[in-house]
Structures are given as structure tokens and as C-alpha cells.
Amino acid sequence: MIGILEKPFMTRRTLVVGLALATALPVTAVPAAARESAAVTFPSAKFPLGTPAAPAKTHKAIGQGIDLYQLTAGRSTDGYSVTVLMPSGRDYGRQETADAKAAEVEGAGLTPSVQKFVRPGVADAPSQEVFMVRVGMWSLDDKKKAEETVKQLKDAGIKARVDYLGDDGGNTTGPWSMNVLMVDARRFRGSYRASVGASVAARETTSAMAKGVGAIAGVNGGFFNIHTSKALRGDPLGASVVAGKLLSEPVAGRSAIVIKGRKAAITELKAEITATGQNGSRQEIAGVNRPTAADELVLYTEEFGAKTPADEGADVVLDATGKVVALRAPGANIPKGHTVLHGVGGAADWLRENVLDGETVKVATKLTDLRTDKNIALTPDLNVVAGGVGLLRNRRVNVTAKRDGHDSVNMILRRHPRTMAGVTRNGGLILATVDGRNPGVSVGANMIEAARLMKWLGAVNAINLDGGGSTAMVVGNKVVNRPSDGAERPVGDALLVLPR
């Protein structure tokens, strides 16, 4: 709970709320001796969030070198408040906007509070100051009273909602419910794999993807495209490589976890993909297995699982050798064992002018690790899952929210369920979920807290995967965390642990 909200609001006042936990919550490193004895071990240090204390935990070995820890920490002291929405529909805005909205609340006969929140600065974005209007405060058991206030405001023509204060992102006592999968590289004899399920276009649950390849365990992967047609919403927003095949291009500079066999690393990637006609003319391929934008050339593989866009562009069907086997109108399926180059605008013109039936088109892909500036070979043991935000780099909190497109108050400061992946100094893999959006049971984590949790667990480098209702950890075909949607959500991809 935000520490200043300790009694009902009696007068209108301006409150300053920062991320006090940024300095108040120390993180104790895993002892060096423990790090040397194994590639990954559960920390002996106290839980790093809330009031420092040892978490309650259970442990289960689920395979050679694979351990599952389920832990709880903290206690519930947060309650509810009513948040007044701004004209934009957001729950925050500029101070003058908040002051004007507070005056409306006063006119309705209620006592508002204008509160200042500071979204903390991160590695690539400065802090941001915003203001909210709140009315009242109630205990966890008195949510109905808060709902009555929302109705009173609605009757006065003022939009508002009930908010659980543990979600705010300021000081809280918890509680937290986490699942942590630790894979010791020195004892583990299996492998890691990415999966997009039956197709790139469609979404699938993490448990279904795990079952499909006989995985021991796994977690949901990166973000997927919800701003497209329903049939295409499984499209990963960032790099996806499955068994050496690039199924979604990286967003240049965005964090990802790169896995080869039983080795995992976290880095940033970029890709250069080109098509070269038999006449030597060359065209950039802007994307893989995703909707096209103006004048783009996009490559579709058989894993796409949907038709190419039905637009005024052009399709060129290639066999496994790059030979052109068909020039066709767009809006058709990708034949098995083939790929399709689809162009719109200027890219369609390039296809029509430079590609002839029976000729050969060379498609070249260059995937680069931006930390080492070395190319990554697309071999059958290579798998890549894109992260949403970088969390740790060389054991330093390094939240790259802006670069990864998530530098908002909601994504950085607010608490949500989280899925995180990290690698240890000695090559171990840590997969962790923290449940959230469950008042009194688990508050989730904000970006800064997610980084601290992964550092506490022993990660040297770590990334945030998709979270919220997508957060899921599967062990033995069973979801072991508590998804905030009430049931497991179909997602775009998953990161899986296989027995061999």
C-alpha cells in the first residue's frame, strides 16, 4: 500500500507519491560460495520486496538439474480507493487537469485528493511526474463501499473506478506469490526450445505448446500483436526463432533470450533480410509472418498458418531451393515446404519487374547479436524468444523500457503479474512468475521490482517476458501459477524446457 494512505481523506490536499522502494529495499547478492558450487541455487538472502524476511517456500525436483520453488512472502495491508478518470480516459494527467477534475468531485459533494505520482526513471527514459484524483480509502473487506462511491460519482456525471492500492507501485507490504524454475547447467541434460504452437498466426496456451513437444516445463513467451485481425493475433512482437527457422523478425535493439541446446544468453538483436532476383536486383524484406505496411516486402513461411494479405499486392511462391514456382494473386495459403514473398506498393512493383516464373530468388538472412556484434547462425539448435523489456545487465538493474516500447506509467510503475527469464554467471537458467491482480493474495511487481527479484534469484542478465493475464508457468502439463484472467490465456509463443 502507498504509505501515505493511512486514514480516510478528510480534506482536499495534494500528496506526493514517489517510488520510495527504489532506495528503501536493498537487494542482497547470492553468496559467492553458493554461486561457485552450482550454476544456479535458491538464494539464502531475505526476500527483497516489502519488509525483508525469509519467504515461505516449497521445493520440488522435477528433473535432473531442474528445481521448482513455490514461495510466498509479505502480508496484505492494502485496501481500496476510488480513482477519478481524466477527460482523456486515463487515470492520470497534468496537475491542472487533476485540479479541475477535483473541483468537479467537490461540486458533487465528495472530498477529493489530488496525488502526485512519480514514474521512476529507467535506463533509457527519465522520470515522469503525473497527477491523479482519488476519493476515499477503504479496507480490503470494504470494496462494496468504494463501489457505492463510484456509483455516486457516476450519478453526478463523473467517470471513476475502484482501484486496489497494491497495484499503484509505491510502498507495499505485499503479499507476493511466486513460482521459480531453476535449471542447473552443470547437471541438466535436456535442452531449451521456443514454440509458437501449431502456427505463428494463431494463439495457443503455454500448456498446449509444452504438451505438443513433450516439455518438462515452460513459461509464456514475449508480447504478441493484439492490434491486428483476430485470426493473426499470435504474431510475436519481436524475434522468434524455432529450431533454427526465423519465424518473426526482431525489433532492432529489443531484448531477447537466445538459446542453443542447453545454453542460454540474453542480448539484443537485429536482422537484415534481403531478396535478390536472378537479374541481381535486390530488395529488403521488412518482416516475416506479419501484416504488411506501405511499400513493404514480407516473407511468409509455412508456419504462418494463415493466408497472405488479400490486398492489391503480389505473391511469389518459392520452393525450398528458392525457385519461383508460382506468380499469383495475394490472399492464399502458403503451400507446405514453400515460402511466399508478398509485396505491396513499391515492393509489389519490384516483384513484378524483377521476378519471373522459373527463375531463382535468393533470400538471405543475417541475424546479429548487438552485444558482441557477431552473426548468429540459424542452425537447428537455435531458438529465440523476444522479451518485452530488459531488466538486468551484468547484475545491474538496467530497465530498457523506452527502447522496448514500454516506457509508460502503467508498464513501469504499476504492478502486474510478471514472467521473467534470467541467466546466471555459470550458465544456469532462471524462469520466474509472480502472480498479481489478486488483492490480498499477490500484488505482482512493477518493472523495477521485477529486476530486483531476478537479481535476488541470482541472475546476471534478465528480461521481462509478456505478463498480465498472459503470465503462466507450466510444469508437467499443469499450470502451477494462478493466471489473473482466471484461466490460462492463449499466447503467441513459449519458452520450454525439454528432457533431451
Residue that wins the pLDDT comparison between 30 and 450: 450
Residue 39 binned pLDDT confidence (cut-offs 50, 70, 90) = confident
Alpha carbon distance 180, 66 (integer Å): 10
Q: What is the pLDDT of residues 73-116, one digit of tens each?
A: 999 999 999 999 999 999 999 999 999 999 999 999 999 999 99
pLDDT at 20: 34
- Please give the share of the chain, as a percent, with pLDDT higher than 70: 92
pLDDT at 299: 98
How do beta strands 418-423 and 191-195 pair?
A: unpaired
- Sign, Cα dihedral of 320, 324, 325, 327: positive
Alpha carbon distance 135, 163 (integer Å): 10
Residue 456 binned pLDDT confidence (cut-offs 50, 70, 90) = very high
Residue that wins the pLDDT comparison between 6 and 427: 427
For residue 484, give the nearest of 385, 417, 434 by alpha carbon: 417
Q: Mean of the pLDDT values across residues 471-488? A: 97
Which residue is associated with the grid cell 477527460? 87
Q: Where are the beta strands (DSSP E) in 250-311?
A: 255-260, 263-276, 282-284, 287-288, 297-301
pLDDT at 141: 96
Which residue is associated with the grid cell 525469509? 54
Question: Does pLDDT of 24 surpass 90?
Answer: no
Residue 465 binned pLDDT confidence (cut-offs 50, 70, 90) = very high
Alpha carbon distance 206, 180 (integer Å): 16
Q: What is the pLDDT of residues 244-255, one digit of tens each?
A: 999 999 998 999
pLDDT at 405: 85
Residue 37 binned pLDDT confidence (cut-offs 50, 70, 90) = low
- Please give the share of the chain, as a percent, with pLDDT higher than 90: 89
Q: What is the pLDDT of residues 217-231, one digit of tens each?
A: 999 999 999 999 999
pLDDT at 175: 98
Residue 8 binned pLDDT confidence (cut-offs 50, 70, 90) = very low
pLDDT at 370: 96
pLDDT at 22: 35
In whole numbers, what is the pLDDT of the chain averaged over residues?
A: 92
pLDDT at 404: 87
At CA 284, angle to CA 283 and CA 287, rounded to 5? 135
pLDDT at 266: 97
Q: Mean of the pLDDT values across residues 165-186? A: 97
Alpha carbon distance 235, 71 (integer Å): 33
pTM of this prediction exceeds 0.85: yes
Question: Does pLDDT of 477 surpass 70?
Answer: yes
